[in-house]
């Protein structure tokens, strides 16, 4: 009888073993789930701590910004008070407004005296240049009182003459101040003739040839007028130096680097002005290129 129960016993034992195996697997899964749950709780705690730290940093930054803003506003107010005080002292002790007005009148007068001798386009004749010393703007005042600013004055020649008029008038004004002025009485002009004879097409290494330059531009008809305009500009600059010396007692120096050459001047000998310094030869220019 016991023997007949053995198969049933083994069957039950197998079922128990299978159930135990299932229970073991379930326990392992439960452990994994609990482990993951613990990790999630811990991570949530870290995330919350991170948010708290971020909020603290934001609060600190906001406080720092508010403090800096208050400090900057106070500094601005302090500087504004200092500026007001200095402007008041300058106005009371130096009378700068009337001096600026006087300087502006002097500069404008000299610009137009010099400009009347230059070949501005007919649209701007007689030239009436005005320089605002405070805004630092240069413009031509038309008869109908309309202003034409330098940027709208058309040709390169107008631009050149306007700049030269301004620079020479400033130079004379500085000379008129004598030892009260710390600015040297020197003016440097680079290639003023290129509005008539572009340097980019001057490849002749031996001489300045205005006819060939104009031929290259297909403007042979204008060569005489353009050469006359360039010669006149140089003449007026020479005359300016002499008249400035007569008026102020100081003779300014104008240094010009240019490819225009052998000009027939009325007020000076061109060769004496050039003094042999021609850039077309390697060691004859203003600056030597080698130690030979």
Q: Over pLDDT 70: what percentage of the chain?
A: 78
Of 30-34, 49-53, 265-269, 273-277, the range with the highest mean pLDDT is 265-269
The answer to whether 172 and 164 are in contact (CB under 8 A) is: no
Question: In angstroms, rounded to a whole number, what is the distance separating the alpha carbons of residues 215 and 191?
Answer: 20
Residue 2 has pLDDT above 80, yes or no: no
Beta strand ranges found along the chain (DSSP E):
129-132, 137-141, 147-149, 186-190, 253-257
Q: Which of 214, 206, 186 is nearest to 259 (CA)?
A: 206
The answer to whether 206 and 261 are in contact (CB under 8 A) is: no
202: preceding bond cis by omega (within 30 degrees): no
Q: Which of 248, 98, 236 is nearest to 160 (CA)?
A: 236
- Among 226-230, 258-262, 278-282, the minimum mean pLDDT is found in 278-282
Confidence of residue 205 (pLDDT cuts 50, 70, 90): low
Across 197-217, average pLDDT: 60
pLDDT tens digits, residue range 39-68? 766 666 666 766 776 777 787 778 777 777
Q: What is the largest CA-CA distance in the chain?
A: 152
Q: At what angle do helices 96-115 and 2-93 cross, to 10 degrees?
A: 80
Across 75-101, average pLDDT: 83
Q: How much is the pLDDT for 54?
A: 75
Q: How much is the pLDDT for 71?
A: 75
């Amino acid at each position: 009888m016991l023997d007949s129960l053995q198969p049933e016993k083994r069957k039950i034992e197998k079922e128990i073993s299978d159930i135990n195996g299932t229970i073991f697997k379930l326990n392992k899964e439960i452990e994994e789930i609990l482990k993951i749950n613990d990790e999630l709780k811990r991570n949530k705690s870290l995330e919350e701590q991170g948010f708290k730290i971020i909020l603290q940093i934001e609060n600190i930054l906001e406080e720092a910004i508010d403090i800096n803003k208050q400090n900057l506003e106070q500094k601005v107010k302090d500087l504004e008070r200092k500026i007001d005080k200095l402007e008041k002292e300058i106005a009371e002790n130096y009378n700068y407004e009337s001096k600026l007005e006087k300087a502006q009148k002097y500069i404008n007068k000299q610009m137009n005296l010099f400009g009347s001798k230059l070949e501005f386009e007919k649209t701007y004749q007689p030239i009436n240049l005005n320089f605002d010393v405070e805004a630092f703007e240069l413009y031509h005042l038309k008869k109908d009182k309309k202003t034409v600013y330098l940027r709208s004055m058309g040709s390169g020649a107008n631009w050149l003459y306007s700049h030269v008029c301004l620079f020479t008038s400033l130079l004379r004004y500085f000379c008129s101040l004598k030892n009260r002025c710390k600015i040297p009485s020197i003016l440097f002009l680079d290639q003023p003739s290129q509005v008539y004879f572009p340097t980019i097409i001057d490849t002749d290494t031996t001489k300045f040839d205005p006819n060939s330059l104009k031929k290259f531009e297909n403007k042979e008809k204008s060569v005489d007028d353009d050469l006359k305009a360039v010669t006149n500009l140089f003449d007026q600059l020479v005359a300016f130096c002499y008249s400035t010396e007569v008026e102020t007692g100081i003779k300014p120096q104008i240094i010009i680097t240019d490819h225009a050459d052998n000009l027939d001047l009325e007020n000076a000998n061109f060769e004496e002005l050039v003094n042999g310094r021609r850039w077309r030869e390697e060691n004859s220019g203003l600056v030597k290129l080698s130690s030979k």
